[in-house]
């Protein structure tokens, strides 16, 4: 089995970034490329805007947040491409995180996915759910789930 098309979903947290060296190792081994994917969930940010009382100009505010996330994603992809010496392309999707990632897996014929877990248990896991767990259950391609604290290497 060759693993040339590697997907790394990211919420752009340090935890998510910690799996990039592992993805880089895999991409180098198979002369593959990494798609670093972030999904912008407009509904999530719209709810936050409403909670903050942002009603007038909410659309512009949301577009600004989206632009910030896209800029951050591009920076992370460029940094890891240089560090890991592999192709890392940034992909910003809009919609529901699980649905969009699974659609991307199908559309791009992804060979494997590497997901970071936060290691939540108990009530926080129940309340917040686990995107990683859902991806493991629903993905048509193999998924490598990593708890970064256990595998972070010095960069």
Tokens 């969009």 appear where? 100
Q: What is the per-residue pLDDT across 5-44, written as a single tens digit (0 to 9) for each?
A: 999 999 998 888 889 999 999 999 999 999 999 999 988 7
**Whole-angstrom distance, CA of residue 42 vs CA of residue 62:** 7
CA distances from 118 to 24, 115, 121, 128, 132 (A): 20, 10, 9, 11, 9
Tell me the whole-structure pTM to 2 decimals: 0.85
* Per-domain boundaries in the chain: 5-150
pLDDT digits (tens, 9 = 90+) for 98-140: 999 999 999 999 999 999 886 554 443 443 458 888 999 999 9
In angstroms, the Cα distances linking 68 to 13, 16, 32 are 14, 17, 28
As assigned by CATH, the class of the 5-150 domain is alpha beta
Instruction: Report yes or no: 129 and 108 within 8 Å, Cβ to Cβ.
Output: no
Question: Where in 101-148 does DSSP place strands (E)?
Answer: 112-116, 143-146
Angle between helices 131-138 and 97-107 (to 10 degrees): 40
What is the pLDDT at residue 15? 85
């Amino acid at each position: 089995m060759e693993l040339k098309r590697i997907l790394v979903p990211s919420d752009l947290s340090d935890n998510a970034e910690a799996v990039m060296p592992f993805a880089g190792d895999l991409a180098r081994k198979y002369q593959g490329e990494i798609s670093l994917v972030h999904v912008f969930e407009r509904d999530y940010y719209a709810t936050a805007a409403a909670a903050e009382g942002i009603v007038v100009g909410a659309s512009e505010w949301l577009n600004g947040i989206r632009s910030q996330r896209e800029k951050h994603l591009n920076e992370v992809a460029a940094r890891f491409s240089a560090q890991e010496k592999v192709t890392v392309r940034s992909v910003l999707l809009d919609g529901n995180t699980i649905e969009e990632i699974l659609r991307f897996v199908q559309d791009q014929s992804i060979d494997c996915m590497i997901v970071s877990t936060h290691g939540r248990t108990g009530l926080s896991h129940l309340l917040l759910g686990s995107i990683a767990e859902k991806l493991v259950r629903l993905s048509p391609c193999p998924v490598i789930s990593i708890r970064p604290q256990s595998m972070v290497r010095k960069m």
